[in-house]
Amino acid sequence: MYTNLQQHQQCMENKKIPNPWGKKGCPEHQGKIKETAEDIKDRNNIADFETYIVTPEGKKRGRFVDLTEIDEASGKPVAYYQIGKVNKNGNPPKREEEAMDDIDEKTGLRPIFKPYNLIILALFFLTGALIFEVL
């Protein structure tokens, strides 16, 4: 507990903020969400942002999914989208995998993971040729 405002402000200045953009994510993350929402709208469905899903039997009691695609006619979710970075192996980080597992277990719809970072995978063949693929 801080005894005065000056001590609190000094402490906050020394703290490293893990994500200066907050819960909505960095500009690349937000851009991928907007791009995916436009794709949903192009299919004449509704894009719902930051849907909370209760997952009492999961690793956490509840999860937020970045986007939910809702069928306009039925009003029911048809897809969930999780946006994030892939690791050096091209896979979602463990925390994202766990979130998708919890959501899948609860809803029966596995979220579609859409990376916003580009990973260049180098493939070596017996000929020694180097081929790059951009995800």
Domains of the chain: 18-134 (3.40.1350)
Q: Which residue has the higher pLDDT, 63 or 21?
A: 63
Mean pLDDT for the stretch of residues 117-134: 47
- The tens digit of pLDDT for each residue in 100-113 reads 999 999 999 999 99
Mean pLDDT for the stretch of residues 46-74: 93
- The tens digit of pLDDT for each residue in 69-95 reads 999 999 999 999 999 988 877 889 999
The one-letter code for the residue type at 116 is Y
For 65, phi then psi, to 5°, come to -105, 140
Cα radius of gyration rounded to whole Å, the chain: 19
For the record, the structure tokens of 40 come out as 């949903």
Helix (H) or strand (E) run with residue 40 in it: helix 27-42
- The tens digit of pLDDT for each residue in 24-49 reads 788 888 999 999 999 999 999 999 99
End-to-end alpha carbon distance in the chain:
47
- Bridge-based pairing of strands 77-84 and 112-115 is parallel
